[in-house]
Structure 1
Amino acid sequence: MINYATIEAIVREILRKWEPESANRPDLLVLNASADGRLDQLEKHWNLIKLPLTPTPIPENVRDAVFLDATQDLLVKGALGIADTPESQMLSTLLLRGLRITLIPSAELEWMLDVSADKAANPAYAHHLGSYKKTLEGFGVRIAPLAALAASASRERITFRGKLLTQRDIEQIKEEKIWIRKTTIVTPLARDAAREKGKSICVIDGTDEK
């Protein structure tokens, strides 16, 4: 009789030693990346994919993107749906693809994070810019400091990115839908555990395994 639990433990240990740590981090597209050291905060939680603003294929299966040093130009054009610069065009493209987007404000816009518009030197103009911020947030764009994005990685990780989905993983994952890559191996015990707990194992291309 095949002891699936023993086989699963052996395979899990082999993959643990062979698979790089970064494979278990969610992917994050990074726009306007620079070499100022700020990316170190993100690399601890995300697998960073630095993307140029020039026309380039967008990697499949990536669900998150961040624009560093987002300017007022990007904020206003993004809210109005104007895409006449490489940066605003990229923002429009990612929005239409349904990615979760975070804008990290430039130094000139940091006041929007924690200062009330009523306390600004020109409250009327601050409220005007704030309306564009609310419009973008209505599109699902988050405007937040870099630290908030780094902290959100573990909370927003929905897709299982390991190479082997085991019974233990099923028991530890709280979501009812567990998203995996096409190449992820699902053990028989994992399938049984998912069925018993009423969870669905879903391949990233939309195919569901009940």
Structure 2
Amino acid sequence: MTLSMDKNLIEHIVREVIASLQARGSGVVEPKPCLLLVHDGSRATTEIDKIIAPLLAKWQVGIESYQAPDLVSSAEKDVRHAVLMDIDQDLLVRGAQGFTDSAPSKLLATLLRNGTPVTLVPAPSAAWILQSVDSDEGLPEPAKRYRAHIRTYKDQLITFGAKFAKLTELELQHEMGLHVNKRVLTQKDIQDSHVPTITVSRHTLITPLARDTAKDKGLTILIQEP
């Protein structure tokens, strides 16, 4: 005999169980997703603290320099998003072409190859890469063509999943997706989310109404692979 249960009833039972566990003080603390921030080592600790301050509410932030040993290994340990700062033109070009002959380019290649979301923050010398083509007005034609050529590498990295941002935009960038470390994902979790994607553990139970609501909102639920 096949038993069928109403989705609303299932949702109600799940919420009651969760509320009961919370009332008993289960002591389970949902960990924040890990964000790796890498810089060139020239920044003072006080400056780094100021940069990460807006991110600490929702992220567990790990800080490394490009000179750190085992940098690539660190990036492969539960990192849900990486922010690579101080991106110069050399790394921009090498990264787009897949070169891995330096610590920064090897790190970038590893992140892109594994599908880890990565935000690239250009160094001051390469900040022009974030400007529109209109900013090139007044430059000689050869300079315009050269800048257009370099921008193709930026565009190529974007097609590989990388995003570019200024330091002031980092807080906005990390809101683009949400990593939920919960045992159960409910309809309310979906209703309260204002992001295009939610990533959950492969061990997370997703209720039927959560799936239906996500579909109605156009929200994508991604399952994090081990």
Q: Shorter-chain-normalised TM-score: which range?
A: 0.7 to 0.9
How far residue 140 of structure 1 moved from its aligned partner, in angstroms, is 1.7
How far residue 145 of structure 1 moved from its aligned partner, in angstroms, is 0.9
Q: Which moved more, 1:8-17 or 1:109-118?
A: 8-17
Structure-1 residue corresponding to 2:144? 123
Distance 2:210 2:58 in 1: 27
Matched, 1:95 2:112: yes
Matched, 1:8 2:18: yes
Structure-1 residue corresponding to 2:188? 168
How far residue 12 of structure 1 moved from its aligned partner, in angstroms, is 3.4
Structure-1 residue corresponding to 2:56? 43
Retained in 2: the 8 A contact 1:74–1:87?
Answer: yes
* Cα 1:64/1:17, change in 2 over 3 Å: same
How far residue 88 of structure 1 moved from its aligned partner, in angstroms, is 0.6
How far residue 13 of structure 1 moved from its aligned partner, in angstroms, is 5.1
Deviations 1:116-148 (A, max 9, x none): 263364323222221221221222211211222
SS in 2 for 1:154: coil
Report the TM-score, using the length of structure 1 for normalisation.
0.73
Q: Which moved more, 1:59-68 or 1:91-100?
A: 59-68
Structure-2 residue corresponding to 1:144? 165
How far residue 55 of structure 1 moved from its aligned partner, in angstroms, is 2.7
* Cα 1:19/1:107, change in 2 over 3 Å: same
Retained in 1: the 8 A contact 2:38–2:85?
Answer: yes
* Cα 1:10/1:70, change in 2 over 3 Å: same
Report the residue type matching 1:130 in the other structure: R
* Structural RMSD (CA): 3.5
Matched, 1:66 2:83: yes
Distance 1:134 1:196 in 2: 35
Q: Which moved more, 1:137-146 or 1:45-54?
A: 45-54
Structure-1 residue corresponding to 2:92? 75
Matched, 1:110 2:117: no
Matched, 1:85 2:95: no
Retained in 1: the 8 A contact 2:83–2:118?
Answer: yes
Distance 2:212 2:155 in 1: 43
Structure-2 residue corresponding to 1:181? 201
* Cα 1:175/1:72, change in 2 over 3 Å: closer
Identity %: 27
Structure-1 residue corresponding to 2:37? 30
Distance 2:24 2:201 in 1: 19
Report the TM-score, using the length of structure 2 for normalisation.
0.68
Distance 2:89 2:181 in 1: 35
Distance 1:152 1:39 in 2: 13
